[in-house]
Amino acid sequence: MRKNSVKNRRINDEVRKALAAIVRDVKDPRISPLTSITGTEVAPDLKTCKVYVSVYGDSEAGTRTMEGLKSASRFIRGELARKVNLRNTPELTFVLDDSIAYGVAMSHRIDEVTAADRNAELARGQETDESIQDE
């Protein structure tokens, strides 16, 4: 099975949905309730799976959640085996995904630049109006 085949994408999607439900039910207090699974990459041989996790909050909440997920990975893998019928249940590797926070930060920067550009445009327009009135 190739990495970007239709079958592999379906497996990735099923594993992501199942893991999202499983992580919500994990009772480890270190895992933030505002944790979401943003993506999964199951290897074509179904031996390993990278799980991309996004945690809303500060970086400390992210590190605590990652520690909790790593300690609960055996439980999560067992639950995944029960929910998703695969030949092999992949070994899970959790990766902190900060792309959402990065996107929000970039959006704020773009808004700031746009506002500064708009203010500069207005200031230039006022200067032009004043120079026309002086003549």
Distance CA 27, CA 112 (A): 41
Q: Give residue 124's pLDDT.
A: 83
The pLDDT of residue 50 is 96
Q: How much is the pLDDT for 23?
A: 93
What tokens does 23 get? 């992580």
Over the chain, what HEC string results? CCCCCHHHHHHHHHHHHHHHHHHHHCCCCCCCCCEEEEEEEECCCCCEEEEEEEECCCHHHHHHHHHHHHHCHHHHHHHHHHHCCCCCCCEEEEEECCHHHHHHHHHHHHHHHHHHHHHHHHHHHHHHHHHHHHC
Q: What is the pLDDT of residue 133?
A: 61
Q: What is the pLDDT of residue 96?
A: 92
Which pLDDT does position 78 carry in this prediction?
94
Specify the pLDDT at position 122.
86
Give the per-residue pLDDT at 112.
94
CA–CA dist 26, 3 (Å, integer)? 30
- How do the pLDDT tens digits run along the chain, 135 residues long? 676 789 899 999 999 999 999 999 899 999 999 899 999 999 999 999 999 999 988 889 889 999 999 999 999 999 999 999 988 899 999 999 888 778 888 999 999 999 999 988 888 877 665 666 655
Phi, then psi, of 39 in degrees rounded to 5:
-175, 160
| pTM confidence score | 0.75
Q: What is the pLDDT of residue 53?
A: 94
Q: How far apart are CA 90 and CA 110, in angstroms?
A: 40
